[in-house]
Amino acid sequence: MDSEFVKRHGNTHYANIHYGYYVLVVCFFYLLFLGILRTILKPKAAGFNSSKRSRLAQRLYLVNPVVHLPIILVAVFLPFYRHYSISEHATVYIKRLGRLSYVLLPLNLLLNLRPNWLLRNNYAYTDLIPLHKWLSRCIVIISVAHGVLFLTRWAMGGSEFLKKKMANPYNLVGILLFIPLISMILFSIAPMRRFSYNAFYVIHNLAAILFVFVVAFHARPSVTIPYLLINIAILLWQGFAKFYYAKRIDVLSKNIDYQNTNLVNVQLPRVALPDQFEPACHIRISPYSRLHPLYWLYPSHPFTVASLPSDAVVDLIISESYHPKSFKFELGTPYSVINNFGPGVPRACLEQSKRVAIVCGGSGISFGLPLYRYFKEIHPVEYIQFIWLVRDAYQLKILDKLDTIGSLDGSNDCHAFITRSADDSTPNQEIAHDVEFELESMTQDIVDENGALVNERDGLPTSKFKFASINLGRRIDWATDLSQFVEPALVDNTWLLTCGPSALIENGRQYAADNNINFASEIYAL
């Protein structure tokens, strides 16, 4: 029998200590790399271009896992195999996999901070979610591989040896950890996640917490210092922020017209947000109080704030799902507002812009409207265009519900596009937030002498808000409808901001790249 099966500790017992420190240093420098990345790459890199160099810059800027995950994995695996022969010291490398999965955990937890206090100057927390998802999957795969390889190696020593090893409490807890980790893999698959996002979220959080503490007990040599302490510190901060910054509020009003549109206006009291906040910032809302267990187990719901700090109330414009299990605001029910989070728009845009075009679809108006008002009222720019694409005319009426827009006049620079398409009658409802952008047939409408849209059937104005133009039955033609937007001498201070489903985002990204202008976006998808 191999001597490694007999000895509890051999001369390789501490062989992975220095490798763990190396991985921790790699994680530190990767966070530093993220911090300086967006000072090197300008927001123009968020555009799309066919050249390899531009595509690489785009993926680096957007923290695309296709590029960033290999950077991390190549760096940590580069010295993975060295010094010890894999044929003679296979357990060294199996243990190394286990330590690697745990040492990567602090980086993954930091990527998921909301708000991310390490990177908040350059990143919205939503920018880092895709990388967090894929790094989580890698950590789980590496840890499961670690366990499977050990079980296989023990089985090679005979059934009695396998039973003896599995009876060891340190090994047993590691084997039992397979259950939540495999469950997390299964529920992270898109169909399962969409079937019950609450179940996925609960399993994800419980598996993460179990991984932090069970592996700390399971691992030999110990991973308590510094890895467990770092992980506990991050978890404590997340818990503190979710508790301390939360506010309990009631809904002031909810304006709905379910007969014609699923767009809903919800008004919250002004105290829901601090005195100052950035335009198009996010809030997360939970129906549970901070002392309720489900406040910590179930996911909160993200919304974009359609108001500015000077407003008397906080407006939300929501595409409310018809699904009976979906989250809906109810009058008379208290909610917890969990902090506020920066928008998907860099500070350079808010501070240095001179020419701005905002294109949004459906409930993306909640992103576009506060930015439109900001660049008209607070930080006036020399050129502003606001384009809103909606499914039908009734969605325009949501603007009439907003006390916060006051006497805002869009007659010079605000354009509505009411879209329709005969071959889009059965839309793909993969994501609930994309429903508002379906292209459906509609009745013909006209514009009255005051610029308000009127329905021919009942004569009721669809919106009292004054638009510069209302375009019926067509989508935006980027080159034509933004023909006056780009000035070659000012491209460094020219920004295209988009919000909506992925197709709209990618079309905007292409237009920005073609015209060498800055680009920022927010996708309304889960």
Output the pLDDT for position 440. 26
Question: Do residues 76 and 100 touch, judged by C-beta distance below 8 A?
Answer: yes
Nearest to 462 by CA among 351, 388, 515, 523: 388
Please give the Cα distance from 466 to 450 (Å, whole number). 8
- Asked if residue 79 belongs to a domain, the reply is yes
Lowest mean pLDDT among 135-139, 163-167, 338-342, 462-466: 462-466
Output the pLDDT for position 235. 96
Between the two ends of the chain, the Cα-to-Cα distance in Å is 53
How much is the mean pLDDT over the chain?
86
Do 227 and 335 lie in one domain? The reply is no
Do 85 and 42 lie in one domain? The reply is yes
Lowest mean pLDDT among 47-56, 157-166, 490-499: 47-56
The 10s digit of each residue's pLDDT in 375-414 is: 999 999 999 999 999 988 888 888 888 877 777 888 899 9
User: What percent of the chain has a predicted confidence (pLDDT) above 70?
Assistant: 88
Do 274 and 178 lie in one domain? The reply is no
DSSP symbols for 210-279: HHHHHHHHH-SS--IIIIIHHHHHHHHHHHHHHHHTEEEEE--EEE--TTT--EEEEEEEGGGS-S---T
Do 372 and 391 lie in one domain? The reply is yes
Answer with the one of 244, 262, 280 that is the final residue of a domain. 244
- Asked if residue 443 belongs to a domain, the reply is no
Output the pLDDT for position 237. 94
Output the pLDDT for position 435. 27
Do 236 and 218 lie in one domain? The reply is yes
Lowest mean pLDDT among 24-28, 202-206, 357-361, 454-458: 454-458
Do 30 and 68 lie in one domain? The reply is yes
Would you mind telling me the total number of residues written for the chain in this entry?
A: 526
Q: Is the pLDDT of residue 348 over 70?
A: yes
Do 32 and 62 lie in one domain? The reply is yes
Output the pLDDT for position 526. 38
- CATH number of residue 508's parent domain: 3.40.50.80
Give me the number of domains the chain comprises. 3
User: What percent of the chain has a predicted confidence (pLDDT) above 90?
Assistant: 65
Range of the structural domain that residue 52 is part of: 15-244
Do 281 and 204 lie in one domain? The reply is no
Do 412 and 495 lie in one domain? The reply is yes
- Asked if residue 470 belongs to a domain, the reply is yes
Q: Is the pLDDT of residue 443 over 60?
A: no
Q: Which has more pLDDT, 430 or 372?
A: 372
Q: Is the pLDDT of residue 7 over 60?
A: no
Output the pLDDT for position 298. 94
Nearest to 399 by CA among 375, 367, 441, 366: 366
Output the pLDDT for position 447. 45
The 10s digit of each residue's pLDDT in 71-112 is: 999 999 999 998 888 888 899 999 999 999 999 999 999 999
Do 227 and 262 lie in one domain? The reply is no
- Asked if residue 430 belongs to a domain, the reply is no
- Asked if residue 124 belongs to a domain, the reply is yes
Confidence of residue 192 (pLDDT cuts 50, 70, 90): confident
The 10s digit of each residue's pLDDT in 305-321 is: 999 999 999 999 998 87
- CATH number of residue 257's parent domain: 2.40.30.10
- Asked if residue 455 belongs to a domain, the reply is no
Answer with the one of 341, 367, 396 that is the final residue of a domain. 341
Cα atoms in the Cβ-side hemisphere of radius 13 Å centred on 484 = 6
Pairing assessment for the beta strands 282-286 and 383-390 based on DSSP bridges:
unpaired
- Asked if residue 453 belongs to a domain, the reply is no
Q: Which has more pLDDT, 356 or 436?
A: 356
Do 223 and 308 lie in one domain? The reply is no
- Asked if residue 446 belongs to a domain, the reply is no
Confidence of residue 50 (pLDDT cuts 50, 70, 90): low
Do 306 and 379 lie in one domain? The reply is no
Answer with the one of 216, 244, 272 that is the final residue of a domain. 244
Confidence of residue 294 (pLDDT cuts 50, 70, 90): very high
